[in-house]
């Protein structure tokens, strides 16, 4: 009987030790690839940052070097990132800004000398053809909507801290009456006209979409917001199934979808400037500064 217990204890210790070595902190004396199984932690398939990363794997020769991209979701990616950072472990993620991951964690974008992810981006507001004629007041507000990365981050952080998105949006509106007054300037009140906005459940778009929807409700619209995947979101506007979206990352990240659908949309231009997309790592990975540094050499 005793022997049996001893065997169990030994087995458990081995399992524990094995999981400990797997959870090792980042070692900058060793190549990075083997430490993280040559894996970049990604988000939902079909997004611009995922296509960009797939392209980067080819362009930088990372694919040949065994690197791969793991598909998941924003929530799973940020949770894995948070755990890695807590234990100073190595990790490479698909990153973008504005996002609270850059506010909550010490992260840096990796240099992209081959320009796969492009530079600074805008987020544009896109509405369906005919909205200007059918709902001129909503069109005015959507056309005027413009805020800064800091504004968007404010709302995102509140939601990340547990606020309900609609409530976080309403609070931001209360605190920023001047900005909101500029967006609603010249827009007349309406009486419960229906409006549909579509969005993808990225933290950035949960913030922008809820703020714009609340502002439109403020002038009397009955706004429904519908969450969907990225491609259906673009199709919903191009086929007049929905009225507006505020989530077009251009020119690069949503560039392919934009060129596919641009003839069937009304592009109202940037609602935010200074967004960015790329690969990111925690700052304690001091010797990893460029996508090229991922290569084993």
Residues that bind ligand PBE (CB under 6 A): 43, 47-49, 96, 202, 204, 230, 249, 253-254, 277
Neighbours of 240 (CB within 10 A): 13
Shortest spacing between CB 269 and ligand PBE, in angstroms? 17
The smaller minimum CB distance to ligand PBE, of residues 78 and 184, is found at: 78
The smaller minimum CB distance to ligand PBE, of residues 47 and 184, is found at: 47
The smaller minimum CB distance to ligand PBE, of residues 229 and 292, is found at: 229
Shortest spacing between CB 262 and ligand PBE, in angstroms? 16
DSSP annotation string for 28-87: TTS-HHHHTTTEEE--STTSHHHHHHHHHHHHTTTTTTT-EEE---HHHHHHHHHHHHHT
User: b/e for 267-276, b at 16 or more Cβ within 10 A?
Assistant: ebebbbeebb
The smaller minimum CB distance to ligand PBE, of residues 78 and 253, is found at: 253
Shortest spacing between CB 277 and ligand PBE, in angstroms? 5
8 Å CB contact between 98 and 276:
no
Shortest spacing between CB 205 and ligand PBE, in angstroms? 6
How far is Cα 287 from Cα 281, in angstroms, rounded to an integer? 11
Helix (H) or strand (E) holding 16: helix 2-22
Shortest spacing between CB 233 and ligand PBE, in angstroms? 10
How far is Cα 131 from Cα 242, in angstroms, rounded to an integer? 10
The smaller minimum CB distance to ligand PBE, of residues 47 and 144, is found at: 47
Shortest spacing between CB 12 and ligand PBE, in angstroms? 41
Shortest spacing between CB 200 and ligand PBE, in angstroms? 7
The smaller minimum CB distance to ligand PBE, of residues 173 and 247, is found at: 247
How far is Cα 26 from Cα 35, in angstroms, rounded to an integer? 8
The smaller minimum CB distance to ligand PBE, of residues 41 and 254, is found at: 254
Neighbours of 255 (CB within 10 A): 17
How far is Cα 247 from Cα 42, in angstroms, rounded to an integer? 19
């Amino acid at each position: 009987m005793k022997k049996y217990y001893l065997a169990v204890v030994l087995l458990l210790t081995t399992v524990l030790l094995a999981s400990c070595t797997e959870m090792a902190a980042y070692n900058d004396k060793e190549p990075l690839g083997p430490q993280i199984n040559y894996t970049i932690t990604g988000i939902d398939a079909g997004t611009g940052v995922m296509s960009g990363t797939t392209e980067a794997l080819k362009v930088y020769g990372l694919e040949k070097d065994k690197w791969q991209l793991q598909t998941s979701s924003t929530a799973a990616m940020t949770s894995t990132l948070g755990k890695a950072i807590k234990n100073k472990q190595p990790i490479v993620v698909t990153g973008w800004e504005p996002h609270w991951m850059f506010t909550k964690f010490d992260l840096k974008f990796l240099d992209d000398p081959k320009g796969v992810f492009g530079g600074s981006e805008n987020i544009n507001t896109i509405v369906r053809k005919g909205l200007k004629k059918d709902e001129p007041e909503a069109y005015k507000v959507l056309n005027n909507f413009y805020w800064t990365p800091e504004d968007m981050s404010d709302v995102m952080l509140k939601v990340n801290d547990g606020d309900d998105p609609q409530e976080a949006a309403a609070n931001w509106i209360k605190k920023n009456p001047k900005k909101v007054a500029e967006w609603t300037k010249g827009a007349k009140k309406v009486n419960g006209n229906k409006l549909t906005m579509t969005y993808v459940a990225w933290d950035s778009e949960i913030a922008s979409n809820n703020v714009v929807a609340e502002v439109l409700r403020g002038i009397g619209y009955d706004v429904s917001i519908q969450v969907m995947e990225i491609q259906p979101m673009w199709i919903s506007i191009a086929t007049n199934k929905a009225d507006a979206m505020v989530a077009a990352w251009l020119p690069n990240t949503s560039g392919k979808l934009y060129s596919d659908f641009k003839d069937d949309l009304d592009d109202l231009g940037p609602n935010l400037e200074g967004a960015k997309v790329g690969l990111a790592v925690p700052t304690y990975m001091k010797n990893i500064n460029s996508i090229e540094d991922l290569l084993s050499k």
